[in-house]
C-alpha cells in the first residue's frame, strides 16, 4: 500500500517527534525506574497525539485508523513503551466511549482525555479471567435507585496508578452464564473503595506502570453505566478489535527499529577481516527480517483501511495482530543474534527491544486467542 500525501505527512511528523523527543536519557530512565514520565506525556498531549483518533467534536484531531496505526508504529520504532503513552486514549481508554457512550458521557470524558489532561484506562482482565474474559467475576449489584455497588479485583491494568478514570467490566446479572450479563462502566478512580496494588516488576515496556485494581464496595451512580446493561462483553470485544490494530502497529514499529539497528551494526562490525554484513548467513537474516516486517506492516495498513471504510475488520485485525506480534519477536531475536554478545548487553538498543517485543503476543489477546478468532471465522 502506498500512503497518500496526508498520511505520509503524518508519518513524517510522528517520526520526527519520536526521533527528536525520545532521547536516550528519557528511554534509559524509563527502563531503570519503571516510572511514568509526565513531561514527555504532556508534550505528546500538546501536539494533539492523545486525541489523534478522537473525533473533532470531542476535542480530538479526528484522524482515522491508519493515522492512529502510523502514530503507534513510528513511536514504537524508537520506544515501544512510549508508543503506549499516546495509544490508550485513542484505543482502549477513549474507544469504549466512542463506541457506546451517551452524548453526555462523550462530552464529559473525551475532551479532557483527548487533551491529555485526564488519563482513562481499561480494566477487563482478572486473576481468574484472562483469555477467557467472559469469566469475569467482578460484581456490580444494582441498587433500587439505579446506582451500583461494585466489588472485585482486576489484574495487569496498564496505567492504573496514574489514571483518573477507568473503563471497567463487571457482572451485573449473575444468572446469565459466561460472557452474558456483563456491563461496562466508567469508573472515577478517586471514589472510596478503589485502590491500586503495587506496580508489577515487568520484563519490558518499563515506564508504563501496570498493577491490580481493587474494588471494595465502590458505589457508582447509574450514570456510570456505558451503553446497555448486560451487553458489556460485546463492547469489550469490539473495542479490542481496534486495540489489536494498535498493538499490531506496535509490533511493526519494534520490528522496524530492530531491523535498522541490525543493518547498522552488521555494516560496522568486522570479523574475519570484513564487515559481518558480508557473510551470507547475516545478510539472509536481514532479508528475512525485512520481509517479515514489511508483510506485517501491509497487514496492519490493510486492516486499518478496512476499519476506515466501515467494513467488518475483526478477522483482519486479528491476522495483523497475530502476524505482527510474532514477527516482532522473530525480528528482535535475529537482531540480538546479529549483535552477538553485545546484543545481550543493555547498552545496545536491541536488548531492550527484545524484552519489549515479548509483550506483544500476550496483551490484548494472546497469539493463541488471535488464532482462535481467525479459525472461528474460517470455520463459521
Ligand atoms: C504488561 C501487561 C499489560 C496489560 N494491560 C492490560 C490492561 O491494561 N487491561 C486489561 O484488561 N488487561 C491487561 N493485560 C492483561 C492481558 O490482556 C492478559 O494477560 C492476556 O489477555 C492473557 O491473559 P492471562 O495472562 O490470564 O493468560 P491466560 O489466559 O491464562 O493464558 C495462558 C496461556 O494459555 C493460552 N490459552 C488460554 N486459553 C486458550 C485456549 N482456549 N486455547 C489455546 N490456548 C489458550 C494463552 O494463549 C496463553 O499462552 C496486561 C497484561 C500485561 C502482562
Same domain, 252 and 226: no
pLDDT band at 288 (very low <50, low <70, confident <90, very high): very high
Nearest ligand 1 atom to the CA of 158 is 8
C-alpha cell at 248: 499490531
pLDDT above 90 (res 234): yes
Residues 352 and 254 in one domain: yes
Cβ(122) – ligand 1 distance below 6 Å: yes
Residues 127 and 196 in one domain: yes
The residue whose CA is least distant from atom 24 of ligand 1 is 130
Distance between Cα 304 and ligand 1 center (Å): 24
- Reported as a pLDDT band with limits 50, 70 and 90, residue 192 is very high
Q: Which residue's CA is the nearest one to ligand 1's atom 6?
A: 157
Specify burial of residue 38 (Cβ count, 10 A radius: 0-12, 13-18, 19+): exposed
Q: How far is the CA of 1 from the centre of ligand 1 (A)?
A: 32
**Residue 152 shares a structural domain with residue 66:** no
Closest atom, ligand 1, to C-alpha of 125? 11
The answer, yes or no, to whether residue 308 has pLDDT greater than 90, is yes
* Same domain, residue pair 368 and 238: yes
- Concerning whether 200 is annotated as a catalytic residue, the answer is no
Of 180, 206, 230, the domain-final residue: 230
Q: Tens digits of per-residue pLDDT, 94-151?
A: 999 999 999 999 999 999 999 999 999 999 999 999 999 999 999 999 999 999 999 9
- Of 59, 89, 114, which residue is a domain's last? 114
Confirm if 154 and 88 have CB atoms less than 8 A apart.
no
CA distance 32 to 25: 10
Q: Give the CA distances from residue 225 to residues 25, 155, 166, 174, 232, in Å, rounded to whole numbers and listed in that order.
A: 42, 21, 12, 17, 10
Q: Is 362 in the pocket of ligand 1 (CB under 6 A)?
A: yes
The pLDDT score that the predictor gives to residue 241 is: 83
- Residue by residue, DSSP assigns 284-350 as HHHHHHHHHHHHHHHHHHHHHHHHHTT---HHHHHHHHHHHHHHHHHHHHHHHHHTGGGGGSTTSHH
Phi then psi for residue 142, to 5 deg, are -70, 140
State if residue 155 touches ligand 1 by the CB under 6 angstroms criterion: no
How many domains would you assign to the chain? Answer: 3
CA distance 250 to 246: 6
Pocket residue to mutate for ligand 1, from 30, 84, 119, 130, most atoms within 8 A of Cβ: 130
Domain hosting 130: range is 120-230
Q: Which residues contact 337 (CB under 8 A, 6 or more apart)?
A: 285, 343
Per-residue pLDDT at 1: 82
In the block, which residue shows the cell 506502570? 209
Cβ neighbours for 189, distance < 8 A, ≥ 6 positions apart: 160, 163, 164, 165, 166
Best probe residue, ligand 1, of 30, 185, 366 (max atoms within 8 Å of C-beta): 366
| Cell numbers describing residue 189 | 478512580
For the Cβ of 81 lying below 6 angstroms from any atom of ligand 1, the answer is no
Does the beta carbon of 158 sit less than 6 angstroms from any atom of ligand 1?
A: yes
pLDDT of residue 213: 98
Distance 34 CA to ligand 1 centre (A): 21
pLDDT digits (tens, 9 = 90+) for 350-374: 999 999 999 999 999 999 999 999 9
Residue nearest to atom 44 of ligand 1 (CA): 368
Q: What percent of the chain has pLDDT over 70?
A: 100
Q: What is the pLDDT of residue 242?
A: 83
**34-93 per-position pLDDT tens digit:** 999 999 999 999 999 999 999 999 999 999 999 999 999 999 999 999 999 999 999 999
Taking alpha carbons only, the member of 304, 297, 305 closest to residue 323 is: 297
- Regarding whether 361 and 319 lie in a shared domain, the answer is yes
| Same domain as 9, residue 130 | no
CA atoms of 99 and 55, how far apart (whole Å): 12
In a shared domain, residues 97 and 128? no
User: Is residue 157 in contact with ligand 1, taking CB distance under 6 Å?
Assistant: yes
Residue 134 near ligand 1, beta carbon < 6 Å: no
Model pTM? 0.97
d(CA 377, CA 53): 27
Asked if residue 373 and residue 320 are part of one domain, the reply reads: yes
List the grid coordinates of 344. 545481550
Q: Which of 114, 141, 160 finishes a domain? A: 114
Q: φ, ψ for residue 136 (rounded to 5)? A: -50, 130
Catalytic, out of 261, 326, 351, 364 = 364
Our answer on whether the CB atom of 368 is closer than 6 Å to any ligand 1 atom is yes
Determine which residue's CA is closest to atom 16 belonging to ligand 1.
363
- Is the beta carbon of 131 within 6 A of some atom in ligand 1? yes
What CATH code is carried by the domain that includes residue 95?
1.10.540.10
For position 162, what pLDDT does the model report? 96
Ligand 1, atom 43, lies closest to the CA of 368
Same domain, 240 and 218: no
Average pLDDT (308-312) is: 94
- Give dist(CA 185, CA 308) in Å, integer: 27
16 CA to centre of ligand 1 in angstroms? 34
Please give the distance, rounded to the nearest whole angstrom, from the Cα atom of residue 363 to the centre of ligand 1: 6
Residues 303 and 346 in one domain: yes
Pocket of ligand 1 contains residue 322 by CB under 6 Å: no
Amino acid at each position: 500500500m502506498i500512503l497518500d500525501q496526508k498520511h505520509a505527512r503524518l508519518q513524517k511528523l510522528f517520526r520526527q517527534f519520536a526521533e527528536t523527543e525520545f532521547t536516550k536519557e528519557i528511554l534509559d530512565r524509563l527502563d531503570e525506574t519503571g516510572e511514568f514520565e509526565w513531561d514527555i506525556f504532556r508534550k505528546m498531549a500538546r501536539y494533539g497525539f492523545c486525541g489523534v483518533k478522537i473525533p473533532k467534536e470531542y476535542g480530538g484531531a479526528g484522524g482515522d485508523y491508519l493515522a492512529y496505526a502510523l502514530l503507534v508504529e513510528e513511536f514504537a520504532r524508537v520506544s515501544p513503551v512510549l508508543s503506549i503513552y499516546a495509544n490508550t486514549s485513542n484505543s482502549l481508554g477513549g474507544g469504549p466511549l466512542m463506541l457506546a457512550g451517551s452524548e453526555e458521557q462523550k462530552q464529559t470524558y473525551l475532551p479532557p482525555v483527548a487533551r491529555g489532561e485526564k488519563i482513562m484506562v481499561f480494566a477487563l482482565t482478572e486473576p481468574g479471567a484472562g483469555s477467557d474474559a467472559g469469566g469475569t467475576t467482578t460484581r456490580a449489584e444494582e441498587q433500587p435507585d439505579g446506582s451500583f455497588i461494585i466489588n472485585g479485583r482486576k489484574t495487569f491494568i496498564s496505567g492504573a496508578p496514574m489514571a483518573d478514570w477507568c473503563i471497567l467490566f463487571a457482572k451485573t446479572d449473575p444468572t446469565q452464564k459466561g460472557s452474558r450479563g456483563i456491563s461496562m462502566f466508567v469508573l472515577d478512580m478517586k471514589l472510596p473503595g478503589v485502590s491500586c496494588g503495587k506496580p508489577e516488576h515487568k520484563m519490558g515496556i518499563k515506564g508504563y506502570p501496570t498493577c491490580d485494581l481493587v474494588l471494595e464496595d465502590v458505589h457508582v451512580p447509574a450514570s456510570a453505566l456505558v451503553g446497555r446493561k448486560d451487553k458489556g462483553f460485546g463492547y469489550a470485544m469490539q473495542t479490542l478489535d481496534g486495540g489489536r490494530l494498535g498493538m499490531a502497529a506496535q509490533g511493526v514499529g519494534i520490528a522496524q527499529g530492530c531491523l535498522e539497528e541490525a543493518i547498522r551494526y552488521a555494516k560496522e562490525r568486522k570479523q574475519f577481516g570484513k564487515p559481518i554484513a558480508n557473510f551470507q548467513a547475516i545478510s539472509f537474516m536481514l532479508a528475512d527480517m525485512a520481509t517479515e516486517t514489511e508483510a506485517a506492516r501491509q497487514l496492519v495498513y490493510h486492516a486499518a483501511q478496512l476499519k476506515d471504510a466501515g467494513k467488518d475488520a475483526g478477522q483482519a485485525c486479528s491476522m495483523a495482530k497475530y502476524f505482527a506480534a510474532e514477527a516482532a519477536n522473530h525480528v528482535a531475536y535475529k537482531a540480538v543474534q546479529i549483535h552477538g554478545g553485545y546484543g545481550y548487553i543493555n547498552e545496545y538498543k536491541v536488548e531492550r527491544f527484545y524484552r519489549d517485543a515479548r509483550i506483544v503476543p500476550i496483551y490484548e489477546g494472546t497469539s493463541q486467542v488471535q488464532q482462535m478468532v481467525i479459525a472461528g471465522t474460517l470455520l463459521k
